[in-house]
Amino acid sequence: MIIRGGTSLCGMVDVQGAKNAALPVMAASILLKGKKLTLKRVPDLYDIHTMSDLLRHIGITVKFKNNFMEIDVPDELNWDAPAELVRKMRASSLVLGPLLARCGKAILPLPGGCVLGSRPIDFHLKGLTKMGAEIDLNRGSVYASAGKLKGERIILDYPSVGATENLMMAAALAHGVTFIENAALEPEIVNLANVLRLMGIPVKGDGTPTIRITGVPEANSAEAEVIPDRIEAATYLIAGIITKGSVTVRGIDSGLIDAILLKLEEAGASIEIMLDEVTAKCAGPLNGVPVKTMPYPGFPTDSQPQLMAALSLALGTSVINESVFDSRLLHINEFKKMGAKIELQDSTAIVTGVSKLIGTEVRASNLRAGAALIIMGLAAEGETVVNDLCHVWRGYEGLPEKLRSLGANIELLD
Ligand code: UD1
């Protein structure tokens, strides 16, 4: 993408359905037997297509058009996930829990996804083992088997989003009641719980640290809607702020992005909320602020690179501590190529604001870093070329069109 910076972004964009809410819900369809799951507001993204292909390999029919998805699940399923799909996306690990619950067996090559340091799935495996699964790790794959999973009390060592989701789905067809303690609180967990409830599975306590799931013998067909994508919404708001413009995102519950909005206000941006619309603007530069990424409801790690992009032009210094993914600061070298002044101390970035960024050629190392580099390009002087955009297509539907509708001068090559 070639970005000619310097234009203030102004206008309104609609928020897509949340990628990170759609993926686990799609995986939850595996719990069905001879039943259907229909989903509205599914974003049209690479990761969604990867999950669709994974479900198809398992034997499930997936039809997807105009953000509407119909998933038709037969009586018999394959229980192995192919390496070429799983290695494309870490969220593929979400099929493990439901496959094991539904088929009593699952083979999962160890997953890939964004390069974010070592991202193990040990919490997922520990929880499934507690529920009675036998797990073998052999030649880079997980071989899991269980006669019938049993409800248990599981205490997560960390409120992992993926582990909470996997265990919720495993518990849905388990014998008895499962308690997941120190569960993740993310809105995507609540979305999954809502879908499980629509499937007839009693789930309580989602959105709190203790989730209680009563296993059922069979799940029912359901129709559901995916919640708005809080990270996408925040990305466009930050793009408006860094270009000294005014961007409104429509179709978002502002409560989902509270931590981000409060941080932007603390840095000097003005935020207006009207029903399902949020507007952010800032006529001058932001002020440096401290940031620490945390599990929800703290500041999300998925918005850290975009905020860092904006703070690289702030007045004063920002201390940004990345506490969720140790390697989610790899974008700093690319930021520096554009003139940002950033010093890395372990998992903390000390960002000293500069008065301008200069366009150059940079590379997206992962999804959110790619979005952040685009944001920087929009504010930089001259031309910025962002390579390896394949990462960005994993998470942002219609990004070039949305940016152009806000006035951005961008061109896509190849
Ligand atoms: C999900 C999101 C991702 C987001 C992250 C944190 C999806 C598809 N992805 O990823 O965009 O950045 O939540 O909000 O929803 N960990 C372990 N062992 C495990 C599991 C996790 O050590 O078994 C560690 C991870 O390496 C990481 C931390 O726990 O340091 C958080 O990971 P987790 O919450 O599981 O993130 P994901 O579910 O992978």
Q: Domain boundaries in the chain?
A: 2-16+228-411, 19-222
Q: Residue 114 catalytic? A: yes
Domain 19-222 in CATH 1.25.60.10? The answer is no
What's the gap in Å between 21 CA and the centre of ligand 1? 13
**Is the pLDDT reported for residue 116 higher than 50?**
no
Residue of 158, 188, 226, 230 best suited for mutating to test ligand 1, as the one with most atoms within 8 Å of CB:
158
Per-residue model confidence as pLDDT tens digits over 124-133: 999 999 999 9
Residue (of 78, 87, 85) closest to 140 by Cα position: 87
pLDDT digits (tens, 9 = 90+) for 44-92: 999 999 999 999 999 999 999 999 999 999 999 999 889 888 888 889 9
- CATH 3.40.640.10 for the 2-16+228-411 domain, yes or no: no
Indicate the pLDDT class of residue 113, thresholds 50, 70 and 90: very low
DSSP result, 375-409: HHHHHSBSEEEEE-THHHHTT-TTHHHHHHHTT-E
Choose, from 103, 114, 282, 390, the residue flagged as catalytic.
114
**Whether the Cβ atoms of residue 58 and residue 26 lie closer than 8 Å to each other:** no
Of all protein residues, the one whose alpha carbon is nearest to atom 13 of ligand 1 is 161
Decide: 303 and 260 in contact? Cβ < 8 Å.
yes
Q: What is the pLDDT of residues 189-217, one digit of tens each?
A: 999 999 999 999 999 999 999 999 999 99
- Region 387-392: mean pLDDT is 93
Q: Is the pLDDT of residue 187 over 60?
A: yes
Q: Are 8 and 364 in contact (CB under 8 A)?
A: no
pLDDT of residue 174: 97
> How far, in Å, from the CA of 120 to the mean position of ligand 1?
9
Ligand 1 atom closest to the Cα of residue 91 is 8
Percent of the chain with pLDDT over 90: 89
pLDDT of residue 119: 61
Whether the CB-CB separation of 368 and 303 falls below 8 Å is answered with yes
Residue nearest to atom 30 of ligand 1 (CA): 325
* Contact (CB, 8 A) for 103 and 79: yes
Q: Starting at the edge strand that comes first in sequence, how are the strands of the sheet with 10-14 ordered?
A: 10-14, 246-250, 277-281, 270-274
**Least reliable range by pLDDT among 65-74, 134-143, 377-386:** 134-143
Mean pLDDT score of the chain: 95
pLDDT at 117: 45
Instruction: Give per-residue pLDDT as tens, 302-349.
Output: 999 999 999 999 999 999 999 998 788 989 999 999 999 999 999 999
- Ligand 1 is surrounded, with C-beta below 6 A, by 20, 23, 90-91, 119-124, 158, 160-163, 188, 300-302, 324-325
> Is residue 143 predicted with pLDDT exceeding 70?
yes
Using the predicted structure, report yes or no on whether residue 114 has a pLDDT greater than 50: no
